[in-house]
Structures are given as structure tokens and as C-alpha cells.
Amino acid sequence: MPKKLEFFYDCSSPWTYLAFTKIEDVARRHDAELIWRPILVGGLFNTVNPSVYESRAKPVPVKAKYYVKDLRDWAKFYGIKIGNPTVFPVNSVKAMRGAFVADEHRVISRYSRRVFESYWTDDKDISQDDVMRGIVKGVGLDEKEFFTKIGSDEYKARLRANVEELIARGGFGSPTMFVEGSMFFGNDRLPLVEHELAVGVGGALDQGSGGST
């Protein structure tokens, strides 16, 4: 039975965009079942991680300067463009509710990529219906179905439920990944995610196999 790799994510996070570009390859390399878990990261910040707002209001200058460089370095390393959106932070609630619709039609990867690129590369405000309409059409979803569903109580509740579940499991930001219940936070933890997926496969990384000769 394949291991389960859960990906809790919000497209409003640049670090999540980085992880998104690699998560499918990670799952594929280890024959893991990738489970997409859309969230609204603001719900996490409001409930368990308000320090994010404090650091935005009163940033440490040297840390903020390095943050910009660090993000630029990672984007260059991954071969993607991450700009400075005019609207930041952005209200991603429509986009993240829409991820459930995209998942139902098996286009969640393409949909999420379009959302990430629209916001982080093309500087489009994904809180706006016109922007989302272009994304929806671009991935072949039905516009009427999409907007009807994301405005319904059911889809609002599904997004809230993912946030509440992540909080209950110890999460505090995006991206958060779980491998068979073990939590990993942040793009830079992807090597640890891979290690967790690989442990025991063929006995190569099994601690009981004896690593010395």
C-alpha cells in the first residue's frame, strides 16, 4: 500500500509556491499517494500564529532584507519567477475554495499552478472574480459551476474544516505536509519529506538493516 503524502497549502504563500513545484515529483519518486488539502492560511495565523502579523507590522530590518534574498535564491534555484505582488497579503479564499472544485474534476494541479503563477508571477489579484474567471476557463472548468460552488455553505465549510483539522494536528502555516501522520513544515523540509517516504523502502534506509560494514 502506498504511503500517503498530505499537502496542506494556500496559494497566497510564496514558500508554498516553491514547495508546490516539487511536491508532485516527490510523491511520484516514492510512489506515494498525494492528497491535496487546500487551506486558508489566515485562519491559522488568527488562531495559533499571530506572531506573523506582529513581524509584518514591526519587521526586523536585517532579517527582512535577508528574507527577500532567500526567497529570490530559492526561486532561482527552482527556476521559477516570484515577484512582488501589488496586493499583499491577498485574500485567497475564493481561489482555495475553488481548489475543491478543481480536485473534483481532476485538474487541481493545473488549477493551483495557474493560481500561483497568476498571483506570484503575473501580479494579478486572485481575490477578483475576473482574474479567477480567466483561471477557471484556462483549466477547462465550468464557470457557473465554479462560482456557484465556492459561494455555497458546503464549500465554505470544507475549507474551514481543513484549517481546523490542521490546527488540531499541530499545524501553524503553509505549506504543511504529513507523511503517514508525521508533520513537516516549509519548502525547505522537502528533503526530510523524501527521507520519510523512503524509509523502509527496500530496506535501504531502514534503521534496522545495519548501515556499517
Average pLDDT score over the chain: 91
**pLDDT range class, residue 53, cuts 50, 70, 90:** low
Angle, helices 41-48 vs 153-168, to 10°: value is 50
> What is the domain extent for residue 69?
4-209
Please check whether residue 15 is in contact with residue 177, taking contact to mean a CB–CB distance below 8 angstroms.
no
**What pLDDT, in 10s, does the model give residues 161-203?**
999 999 999 999 999 999 999 999 999 999 999 999 998 544 4
Q: What is the pLDDT at residue 44?
A: 87
Residue 155 has pLDDT above 60, yes or no: yes
Q: Supply the CATH number for residue 32's domain.
A: 3.40.30.10
What number is the average pLDDT over the span 69-95?
Answer: 97
- Across the range 103-115, mean pLDDT stands at 98
Write down the pLDDT at residue 150.
98
Q: How many domains does the chain have?
A: 1
Banded model confidence at residue 48, pLDDT cuts 50, 70, 90? confident
pTM to 2 decimal places? 0.90
The string of DSSP letters for the chain reads -PPEEEEEE-TT-HHHHHHHHHHHHHHHHTT-EEEEEE--HHHHHHHH-THHHHHHHS--HHHHHHHHHHHHHHHHHHT------SS-S---HHHHHHHHHHHHTT-HHHHHHHHHIIIIIT---TTSHHHHHHHHHHTT--HHHHHHHHTSHHHHHHHHHHHHHHHHTT--SSSEEEETTEEEESGGGHHHHHHHHHTTGGGTT-GGG----
- How much is the pLDDT for 203? 40
Among 38, 75, 64, 31, which residue's Cα sits nearest to residue 187? 75
pLDDT at 87: 97
Q: Percent of the chain beyond pLDDT 70?
A: 92
The rounded Cα 112 to chain-centroid distance in angstroms is 9
The more confidently predicted of residues 74 and 56 is: 74
Whether the Cβ atoms of residue 101 and residue 155 lie closer than 8 Å to each other: yes
Distances (CA, A) of 88 to 18, 31, 36, 194: 17, 36, 24, 31
Q: Please tell me the predicted confidence (pLDDT) of residue 209.
A: 36
Question: Which residue type, as a one-letter code, is found at position 69?
Answer: K
Q: What is the pLDDT of residue 64?
A: 85
Cell 514547495 belongs to residue: 19
Q: What is the pLDDT of residues 2-15, one digit of tens each?
A: 899 999 999 999 99
Q: Parallel, antiparallel, or unpaired for β 4-9 and 176-179? A: antiparallel
